[in-house]
Amino acid sequence: MEHLLHGSCHCGAVQLRLPHLPSRATECNCSICRRLGALWGVFDWTTVGLSAEPRALEEYIWGEKTLRTMRCRVCGCATHWEPLRPQPDAWHGVNLRMFPPELLQHVQIRRFDGADSWTFIDD
């Protein structure tokens, strides 16, 4: 399954490598996630491999300014989010849409109500 754990943005300027399959993925309906259409897997960032061509990444910061969503400047794909002020064991979100679709066959997808109740809504 190793090949499933390597992903990239559409043009390939941003490369991502996961340490393992996430136990689940989150589909969030908040104002930014629903527009991005992202499917987030959450990881300890020290375990995720990220390589990007110089200046390929640009950030988007909004709202309470606790995190920034990162996208490829070339092709526009949202690749991950990260805390603005990382703590030692901070979590980061990786957009699993950047990975082979077969990856998602092995991952439970959960719907998260980030727009309102801040809870999962698929129970």
Binding site for Zn ion (CB under 5 A): 9, 11, 13, 72, 74-75
What is the DSSP track for 10-76? SSSSEEEE-SS--SEEEEE-STTHHHHT--EEEEEGGGSEEEE-TT-EEEEE-TT-SEEEEEETTT-
Q: Smaller CB distance to Zn ion: residue 9 or 94?
A: 9
Please report how close the Cβ of residue 97 comes to Zn ion at its closest, in angstroms.
13
Q: Smaller CB distance to Zn ion: residue 9 or 67?
A: 9
Please report how close the Cβ of residue 98 comes to Zn ion at its closest, in angstroms.
9
Please report how close the Cβ of residue 120 comes to Zn ion at its closest, in angstroms.
31
